[in-house]
């Protein structure tokens, strides 16, 4: 394995047996858990803020717009900076930015102010974006290239674990006090309304203060911890064929960015429509509360699939696993659209399991062989996460015109594109295996 060192400009080879990446990988995995946990807390904040400020659904969905919009705004600039500063410093910057965003929930709740809550969310999401731009490629490059997808899938499994447990803790800590109904709020005098909003909003203070403190502590630990330094993936642009190299010259990256857009869009669209879909008389005929509980099978399936997938990807080529999962997901959507009742329910819920390895595998294949452009490439791939804020509204438009049952044709198209990327989105030439040296 080629190892770059900060102490000398020489690149030398160290046998794989001399390298132990378990401790660094475990340390970075805590970051994946943390941003998964914080991301899923939005699902708790949405009904909480809706009740406090008496918002309609379009207004309260600004929470998700602010969050996903951060990926579009901050990902590419973060990629450029990562190329120059390195992965570890950017992880620290991301954590501290998240801590600032979490701390802003305190004044937002004290006022209380919905725009200030959105500002806090944007800053929090900016920190998560910086963290993802740095941590995803770092895990992919931390060890042999052939097991990169397996490593990133394993760390993403702990991200899913964070999303799995966050609703429980958020419900206990934030939604402990039942809000008043819209009719009760309408009868409150102005001073009573303000006092009520301050009381309800105050429930977010303690959890987010605790989160902010935890993020600062984690940033200090990461700064102190001797993470392996991946030198060959930093340093900016290189010359290629007599011209200045660019991320846009790499087909695997461009196709990978579109695949990330398609995957996140399909995953979020299916999750967003599941409750209403299972509520349909000819599908599950479930009441909304019961239908909501079935979401755990969709998101929990992704967590289980990532733990299993991390082992599978060590023995089976990632492109083959990705193509198979995406094709099965597309077929399951088609089965659900073509059937009714329990078959339609089970087939749509099972897609969560096959979604599991897609993001980490697309990501590692997208940055394959990019060397010094890896940081900037990570920025582009993370920008594509904005698909989660674009494809669901498009599916909603389709559902309004042809019905929710067959509106899932859009995720089907997304999954079929991922199959195309897995089979055709190969780099023009393989990059060198990137190793590490201690800071």
Residue-wise pLDDT tens for the chain (439 aa)? 332 323 322 332 333 433 567 788 888 888 888 888 888 777 677 767 877 787 776 677 677 778 878 888 998 888 888 878 888 899 999 999 999 999 999 999 888 889 999 999 999 999 999 998 888 888 877 877 778 788 888 888 888 888 777 767 776 777 655 555 556 666 666 776 667 667 767 778 888 899 999 999 999 999 898 877 765 444 445 544 545 667 788 888 999 999 999 999 898 888 877 877 888 889 888 876 677 677 778 888 888 998 898 889 889 999 999 999 999 999 999 999 999 999 999 999 999 999 999 998 998 898 887 777 777 888 889 889 888 878 888 888 888 888 888 889 999 999 999 999 999 878 765 443 333 433 4
Euclidean distance between the first and final Cα of the chain, in Å?
A: 18
Say how far residue 52 (Cα) sits from the centre of its chain: 27
In sequence order, which residues have a C-beta less than 8 Å from that of residue 42 and are 6 or more positions away?
63, 64, 67, 121
Name the pairing type of β-strands 239-240 and 11-13: unpaired
How many Å apart are CA 170 and CA 155, to the nearest integer?
Answer: 23
For residues 437 and 26, give the distance between their C-alpha atoms in angstroms, rounded to a whole number.
17
Report how far residue 221's alpha carbon sits from residue 214's, in angstroms, rounded to the nearest whole number. Answer: 10
Q: Closest Cα to residue 68, out of 393, 298, 296, 300?
A: 393
Cα distance between residue 360 and residue 358, in whole Å: 6
pLDDT at 254: 92
Q: Is the dihedral of CA 295, 296, 298, 299 positive or negative?
A: positive
**5, containing H or E segment:** none
What residue spans of 9-147 are helical by DSSP H?
22-40, 42-53, 57-60, 62-85, 87-103, 105-110, 114-141
Taking the mean position of all CA atoms in its chain, how far away is CA 111?
A: 31
Characterise 52 by phi-psi region: left (phi > 0), alpha (psi -120 to 50), beta (else): alpha
Task: Identify the H or E element spanning 11.
Answer: strand 11-13
Task: Give the integer Cα–Cα distance in Å for 131 and 350.
Answer: 30
Provide CATH 1.20.1250.20 ranges for the chain.
1-234, 236-431
Q: What is the CA radius of gyration of the chain?
A: 22
Q: Write the DSSP symbol of residue 406.
A: T
Q: What is the pLDDT at residue 188?
A: 64
- Are the C-beta atoms of residues 191 and 82 closer than 8 Å to each other? no
Locate 378 and state its tokens. 């990570």
CA 58 – CA 61 distance, rounded (Å): 5
Q: Which fold has domain 236-431?
A: Growth Hormone; Chain: A; (1.20.1250)
Q: What are phi and psi of 161, to 5 degrees?
A: -65, -40
Tell the CATH topology of 1-234. Answer: Growth Hormone; Chain: A; (1.20.1250)
């Amino acid at each position: 394995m080629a190892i770059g060192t900060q102490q000398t400009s020489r690149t030398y080879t160290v046998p794989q047996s001399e390298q132990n990446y378990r401790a660094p990988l475990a340390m970075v995995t805590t970051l994946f858990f943390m941003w998964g946990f914080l991301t899923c807390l939005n699902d708790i904040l949405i009904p909480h803020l809706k009740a406090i400020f008496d918002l309609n659904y379009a207004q309260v969905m600004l929470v998700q717009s602010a969050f996903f919009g951060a990926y579009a705004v901050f990902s590419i600039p973060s990629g450029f900076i990562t190329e120059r500063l390195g992965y570890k410093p950017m992880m620290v910057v991301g954590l501290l930015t998240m801590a600032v965003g979490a701390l802003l929930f305190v004044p937002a709740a004290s006022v209380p102010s919905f725009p200030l809550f959105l500002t806090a969310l944007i800053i929090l999401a900016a920190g998560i974006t910086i963290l993802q731009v740095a941590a995803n490629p770092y895990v992919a490059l931390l060890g042999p290239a052939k097991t990169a997808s397996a490593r990133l899938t394993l760390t993403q499994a702990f991200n899913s674990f964070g999303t799995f447990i966050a609703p429980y803790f958020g419900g206990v800590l934030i939604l402990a006090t039942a809000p008043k109904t819209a009719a009760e709020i309408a009868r409150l005098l102005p001073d009573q309304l303000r006092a009520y909003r301050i009381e309800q909003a105050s429930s977010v203070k303690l959890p987010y203060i605790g989160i902010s403190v935890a993020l600062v502590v984690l940033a200090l630990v990461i700064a102190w911890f001797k993470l392996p330094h991946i030198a060959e993936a930093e340093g900016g642009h290189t010359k290629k064929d007599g011209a200045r190299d660019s991320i846009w010259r790499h087909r695997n990256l461009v196709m990978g960015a579109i695949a990330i857009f398609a995957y996140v869009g399909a995953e979020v669209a299916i999750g967003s429509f599941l409750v209403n879909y299972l509520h349909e008389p000819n599908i599950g005929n479930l009441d909304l509360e019961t239908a909501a509980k079935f979401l755990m099978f969709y998101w929990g399936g992704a967590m289980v699939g990532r733990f299993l997938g991390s082992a599978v990807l060590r023995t089976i080529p990632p492109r083959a696993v990705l193509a198979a999962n995406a094709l099965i997901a597309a077929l399951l959507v088609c089965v659900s659209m073509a059937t009714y009742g329990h078959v339609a329910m089970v087939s749509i819920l099972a897609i969560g399991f096959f979604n599991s390895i897609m993001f980490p595998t697309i990501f590692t294949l997208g940055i394959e062989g990019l060397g010094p452009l890896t940081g900037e490439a990570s920025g582009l791939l993370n920008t594509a996460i904005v698909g989660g804020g674009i494809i669901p509204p498009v599916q909603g438009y389709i559902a309004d015109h042809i019905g929710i049952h067959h509106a899932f044709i859009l995720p089907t198209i997304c999954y079929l594109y991922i199959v195309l990327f897995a089979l055709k989105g190969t780099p023009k030439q393989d990059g060198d295996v990137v190793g590490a040296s201690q800071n």
